[in-house]
Structure 1
């Protein structure tokens, strides 16, 4: 494309045109404002890779008004591939689903506003907004409404929409974090400085102060408080304006009124040297509210940064066979019918069928099965699984959006859309309370305007300040922040804001097996010697030497003894075992009929048994298994005692599921359950009235983690599973789960105490303020004291301890194993 052609549409650029956009670090010419706006939207949306991969120039947008084409770029099919997909929940309805990031979400009222506003558009079937991840999922009819209209409507109500790509997600998080810290810093510094002057003014009023010095302190306080109001408190004013435009009274309305009117009154009192000033109350109020919101933001960002989508499980490139030669190509270039090579350790980039070779493939992320699945000619392999010990040639049968991995992603999105929406108790009370406060202030002003006009404004201000919902605003977030911090200290990282509200209402807990109730790591459980002159240590060393170059998961059981002996001439027999020489002697380890010609009788016991043999016969039986977590039995016992129903769902096909369920005391269990069947079981439980907590590990648990009322992922789980869960168990101690239930119940009691105090205080203070018995400075002290009581009561949760003793993590008993 030459320099006189429009970089976007390819048409000639008129002489003297000043339209251009910086793309890939270079300034690209544009022929008109329309192309400039569309290209600018593509770059601003983090989708500039579009220009690298397109085959032909785009069509020129109709019209030259940039305002009409601001979001038109998102209607391009090439861009929609990155954030729009077919909606599977509606059958053949032709519906599609767009995943958008929405900047500017601050509370549950924002979620309500977005869902109501977009839900009212023609062609929009359903809308689900997650305040924790700031992600909106919108199911729409492309024949009626286009993505550009969704972007435009979100922008019209004051939010910042963007396509939900990994780059955009991280950028949004970083922008929000930096802005929150800047505002909190300004509010904190302002509060500290203005409080020093406020103390002088308080004591001066009581003991006497020089008038000139008083004016000086007031003017300095005004200068310090102004950035707090105009910059740090700006999110409250913006949210209040949005709620008023949507005809919905949120908590931000009286908060903004109180800050704005108190600042205006203080400004008036300072300039005209009359009345009282409240700069310290304004700054402190703003700081406390921002602090609570910042703590909440940090908690959800810990999960948000780990969320990159299922696509991150795939490699960037694959090895494709072209004319008998192996060449690396981008995974996006693979298509059905291509032949690819998978070497040991490679991640499978697409679904396919083995056409040459045999190998074990680790599909644990997809089906929960810990053992390698043996693949031979004709076997199916799936994207996201990992090739084990031998090279395979595979013919691609499905790539991109057609793979099983993408099907699981669609299940995740469908489950998230149907996830129960939790609304904070304070927000449910706020609408009526806010209306009462505003009406009371207006009524007080009208009454006193007739009786004593000079007192009307100050009494109305006293009503707003004394009943300002600071305590009510802090009642829930302060308790949740303290409980969240305490749970993190106990080993549970909370990522979903609704978790603490949901936990006390649960009726059932569903567990995964591998990596959840068990440690997810094979270990040597028992060695039975079959020949004199051998010791268990010698058996471990020889076996470790043979397994040292194997990619099989069971080889990890011998890792502590690697490099003690060296093996030579190693040969891996897929599905059978390994042979090699150690100290000049030939050995075999694996299946009994592979290790020796006439194997001895296999021991009776749980776990998987390998036989070590040499040319003279069998040497020893080695029992391997996955150890049960030491905390599993105690945790399940406490959960059962609390009245919860317990269930085990596992992708493992072995009889170990039934044995493990009986061992830990779980009556209901299901083995060999696919991701689809897990989600179906969850929905049937919820349809029957159960509120379900899912505890899982691995990709096959992700749809259920997303769809459950509450969910917990183990720290060892895939990043994707962690990001979809409401909490992450950091230390592997399952006894934290019943601790979390106890703490959540106590948190709910604290929240109710805070709300009772806040509402009771306001109910008592409101009539006194309306009657003119509470001067503004007393109202400010009362508001601060009320908020302090709420915060101190909430801080009791940070010192909460369970009555149950917490101990180690491993049960060193061979009988307590699981596979």
Structure 2
């Protein structure tokens, strides 16, 4: 093969122009791309294998870098400009999602979390074993990103910043390795089983000892690649666990394979009679098959959760004066204006500044009815403008867009695990230790009774009681449940919430914006005769222009007045200074109920220097479908906690058949009411949408923010309904109960199977091949039971 000086003589990759790595090969100095290739070439020459380079027909794979060179490569991740693409800054903390290769089970996630948590500066680590991702929050003053990735490598896992394309490529490569190992194990298992069946059932009529020995040697040759190639996954997992001074389910698997294979080799060499090569092959094949099924189901769930990424376009059309320029969507910055034509995907979050269109937001909310948007309305990246061209002003860079926030929050959801998940993880650790102890005692006992059978009985114990199904019971169910809810427009920020939802006793609801549309209309109006209607409107428009309350849209004026000392008092109202006069807007509670009597039931008042000068009766309508949704909650008590007037709250409570309602509540009073309910040992779920709901959302056992909620409400919530409608709330309750039921079914099956099979294995009634089949079927049942949650 021909190589130019610009190419690596070992692997053919381009050489680095600023580094020279050379070694003498075949009498000439050769150039190499890295110290790894240089070291391999030198070793080949030193060991007299130089002819390899003379007769090879293709380039070798690039060699692994030594630790120093690898560390140098990893330090590139500390470059702030490079981090802009994948690191999120949250106050003084940094957050990142890492794709982690080599995760096989719940013990891997536990090991990674424990090891990374030991680094000084790590604030939180959460491993999502289903998606093979780690979410890490750290203090950059104490630890660097390269040090985090380096620690991962030291414990046997390869980590790199999550990017959708790279993650998918990593999955494809891992699946290819799975199929190769599984295919080899399956092929060899069939061959070895045919040989062993002929011997066990004497199908060759009085087979001679020489023929049996010949079959043993053939079986050994066929089994060896299965043990050393197909089974390597389990050995690496066991080594990683033991290096971290813990045990996982790969440890008994490795012991069973190692003991059985070593005993088979010894028996074959010494011309003995008992070998279990077919059990080894079948064990590895069925265990790989169950893990492959788990791998596929995890990927299916991951695709459902991450499908939103495929909707984000790579490029956007930026308006620069009178010209239109194309740029990468991820390079868009706040303040830029982007043109989106009819039928195009909106590339980033923004506000419409020109045009109107119907927007398909189904990828976010799960609702396929288009939403009409016009100037001033917010649009989100990944949604589709169906009709007419619109111009939007960018409000958030792509990495802070709603789509990416959703994906980050899903990763954070696995940071807090349900009690059942924690119990399962802890139980599997103890169970492995118990299995190893019972296996050792079993061998000791049978060695005293029947030495020739002691080894095989111990192997049967190790195989039959391997807690693979127990380790899969919780994570597979949670992953499928979160993915299913995401597909239906529900974002779960904490995985342990699903367990709490299933035990909910009270459903507390805010009224305005949650049960009602929040689209207010003025029913009646009164003002002092000393003030004109135009003056009142300008004052109200000036004050409400800075408010997020839904009634702000009712007051508009062309010329706003100068406003200072503006302040929002959550749950009461707003105040500010206009032309040296102090104005207040709010409910009667804001004025200590010291308000004038009006001929109608006023609920909003305007005061100038503590004197009421105007009043309004404002009402809104109940959201479509709310009544049908709440009617389905027959097992929980429904109450309304609202800051609105008695008349409005009572009307809504009567129409929706609410069990109990409370009106004119301040945020503190709402908080006290929730605490009072919790003091009676009842679990409460709170639905809210406004700034005034943030404290009570944080206090509740489960908090839910509806799609039209303010940012602070969404931050405080455990669950976010991406649609402003409440239709999906019943789906949350139903799936939470199903998830809890599935987890319990999985754990009951896993524990029940192991407890049932243990005495059979210990008593010697279970042959190794029987134990293999039982253990594998047990794991696959757990995986397939969990995938029912995706339907």
Pairwise TM-score range, normalised by the shorter structure: 0.5 to 0.7
What whole-Å deviation, never above 9, does each CA across 1:101-130 have from its counterpart, x for those lacking one?
Answer: 001101110011000111101221211111
Counterpart position of 1:253: 251
Deviations 1:570-590 (CA, angstroms, capped at 9, x unpaired): xxxxxxxxxxxxxxxxxxxxx
Aligned to 2:269: 271
SS for the counterpart of 1:286 is helix
Per the alignment, residue 19 of structure 2 pairs with: 31
Cα separation, partners in 2 of 1:209 and 1:433, compared to 1, 3 Å? farther
2-structure distance, mates of 1:235, 1:667: 58
Which of these residues, 118, 121, 129, is aligned with residue 119 of structure 2?
A: 121
- The aligned counterpart of 2:461 is 466
Partner of 2:189: 191
Q: Report Cα offsets for 1:339-379 as digits up to 9, x if no partner.
A: 44455555555566666x45357495789997424326xx7
Hey, what does 1:85 align to over in structure 2? 88
Structure 1 residues 228 and 733 mapped into 2: Cα distance closer, same or farther (>3 Å)? farther
- 1:400-438 deviations in Å (ceiling 9; x for gaps): 556677666666665554565863766533333333443
2:343 paired with 1:359: no
Where does residue 141 of structure 1 map in the other structure?
139
Q: CA deviation at 1:191?
A: 2.8
Asked if the contact 1:318–1:331 (Cα under 8 Å) also holds between the matched residues in 2, the reply is yes
The residue correspondences of 1:130-209 to structure 2 (distance < 5 A) are 130-204=128-202, 209=207
The answer to whether the aligner puts 1:507 opposite 2:500 as a matched pair is no
**Once the 2 structures are TM-superposed, how far is the Cα of residue 167 of structure 1 from its aligned partner?**
1.4
Structure 2 CA distance for partners of 1:337 and 1:456, relative to 1, 3 Å: same
Aligned-partner Cα distance in 2 for 1:183–1:645: 55
CA distance in 2, matches of 1:430, 1:130: 18
Aligned counterparts of 2:221 and 2:779: Cα–Cα separation in 1: 29
| Kept in 2: contact 1:336–1:396 (CA 8 A) | yes
Kept in 2, the 8 Å contact 1:166–1:309? The answer is: no
Q: Distance in 2 between matches of 1:793 and 1:698?
A: 41
1:383 to 1:217, Cα distance in 2 relative to 1, 3 A: closer
- Asked if 1:685 is matched to 2:681, the reply is no
Task: State the secondary structure of the residue aligned to 2:140.
Answer: coil
Deviation at 1:334, TM superposition (A): 3.9
Of the candidates 231, 241, 244, which is equivalent to residue 243 of structure 1? 241
Q: Is contact 2:252–2:463 with CA below 8 Å preserved after alignment? A: yes
Gaps of 5+ in 2: 23-31, 38-65, 516-621, 643-647, 662-684
Cα deviation for residue 457 of structure 1 reads: 8.1
Q: Hey, what does 1:563 align to over in structure 2?
A: none
**Please, what TM-score do these two structures have when normalized by structure 2?**
0.60
Q: Give the distance between the partners of 1:140 and 1:169, measured in 2 at CA.
A: 22
Aligned with 1:262 (options 251, 260, 263):
260
Instruction: Kindly state the Cα deviation for residue 32 of structure 1 after the two structures are TM-superposed.
Output: 4.3
Alignment match, 1:593: none
Distance in 1, matches of 2:76 and 2:474, equals 44
CA contact (8 A) 1:358 1:392 kept: yes
Partner Cα separation in structure 1 for residue 758 and residue 412 of structure 2? 43
Q: Distance in 2 between matches of 1:799 and 1:113?
A: 25
CA 1:416–1:785: 2 relative to 1, 3 Å: closer
Q: 1:75 to 1:347 in 2, by over 3 A?
A: same
* Equivalent residue runs for 1:481-500 within 5 Å: none
Cα shift at 1:301: 0.6
Cα distance change on mapping 1:511 and 1:135 into 2, 3 Å: farther
Checking the alignment, whether the CA contact within 8 Å between 2:697 and 2:716 is kept in structure 1 is no
The RMSD of aligned alpha carbons is: 6.0
> What corresponds to 2:751 in structure 1?
755
Question: Which residue is equivalent to 1:298?
Answer: 296
Of 346-355 and 733-742, more deviation after overlay is shown by 733-742
Distance 1:315 1:800 in 2: 33
Corresponding residue number in structure 2 for 1:372? 372
Output aligned runs, 1:644-723, within 5 Å. Answer: 673=689, 683-686=698-701, 690=702
User: Residue 305 of structure 1: SS of its match in structure 2?
Assistant: helix
1:433 corresponds to which of 431, 434, 444: 431
Q: How many corresponding residue pairs?
A: 609
Find the counterpart in structure 2 of residue 216 from structure 1.
214
Work out the CA distance in 2 between the residues paired with 1:386 and 1:73. Answer: 37
Question: Using the alignment, how far apart are the partners of 1:349 and 1:793 within structure 2?
Answer: 42
Unaligned runs of 5+ in 1: 1-14, 41-62, 89-93, 519-624, 650-654, 718-728, 769-773, 807-819
CA deviation profile, 1:139-173 (whole Å, cap 9, x unmatched): 11222221111111111111121210111111111
1:486 Cα deviation from its structure 2 partner? 14
Q: 1:503 to 1:217 in 2, by over 3 A?
A: farther
Q: Distance in 1 between matches of 2:129 and 2:717?
A: 16
Q: Quick check: 1:320–1:340 contact (8 Å CA) kept in 2?
A: yes
Aligned-pair distance for 1:633? 7.9
Is the 1:170–1:305 contact (alpha carbons within 8 Å) kept by the matching residues of 2? no
* Paired residues of 1:415 and 1:706 also in contact (CA < 8 A): no
Distance change (3 Å), C-alpha of 1:315 and 1:750: closer
**How much has 1:222 moved relative to structure 2?**
1.9
Over 3 Å counting, the alpha-carbon distance change for 1:21 and 1:672 in structure 2 is farther
Decide whether aligned partners of structure 1 residues 208 and 735 sit closer, same or farther in structure 2, where only a CA change above 3 A counts: farther
Q: When the two structures are superposed, what TM-score results if normalisation uses the length of structure 1? A: 0.59
Q: Residues 231 and 204 from structure 1, CA distance in 2 versus in 1: closer, same or farther, beyond 3 angstroms?
A: same
Q: For the residues of structure 1 that align with 2:479 and 2:192, how far apart are their CA atoms?
A: 31
Question: In the aligned structure 1, how far is the partner of 2:356 from the partner of 2:781?
Answer: 61
CA distance in 2, matches of 1:648, 1:736: 21
Q: Secondary structure at the match of 1:128?
A: strand
Measure, in 1, the Cα distance between the counterparts of 2:351 and 2:154. Answer: 50
**Partners of 2:788 and 2:397 in 1: how far apart?**
51
The residue correspondences of 1:708-787 to structure 2 (distance < 5 A) are 738=734, 741=737, 745=741, 748-749=744-745, 751-763=747-759, 765-766=761-762, 768=763, 774=764, 779-780=767-768, 783-784=771-772, 787=775
Q: Provide the secondary structure at the position in 1 that maps to 2:325.
A: strand
Q: Deviations over 1:578-621 (max 9, x none)?
A: xxxxxxxxxxxxxxxxxxxxxxxxxxxxxxxxxxxxxxxxxxxx
Residue 788 to residue 106, structure 1, CA distance change in 2 (3 Å):
closer
Judged with a 3 Å threshold, the aligned counterparts in structure 2 of structure 1 residues 788 and 147 are, in CA distance, closer, same or farther, namely closer
CA distance in 2, matches of 1:706, 1:182: 47
CA–CA distance in 2 between the matches of 1:270 and 1:754?
A: 36
Distance 1:447 1:757 in 2: 23
The answer as to whether partners of 1:486 and 1:797 remain within 8 angstroms in 2 is no
**Contact kept? 1:471, 1:787, Cα under 8 Å:** yes
Aligned to 1:289: 287
Question: Cα distance 1:240–1:287, how it changes in 2: closer, same or farther (>3 A)?
Answer: same
1:441-472 Cα distance to aligned partner (Å, 9 max, x none):
556667888x79xx768524522333434464
User: In 2, Cα distance between the equivalents of 1:431 and 1:785?
Assistant: 23
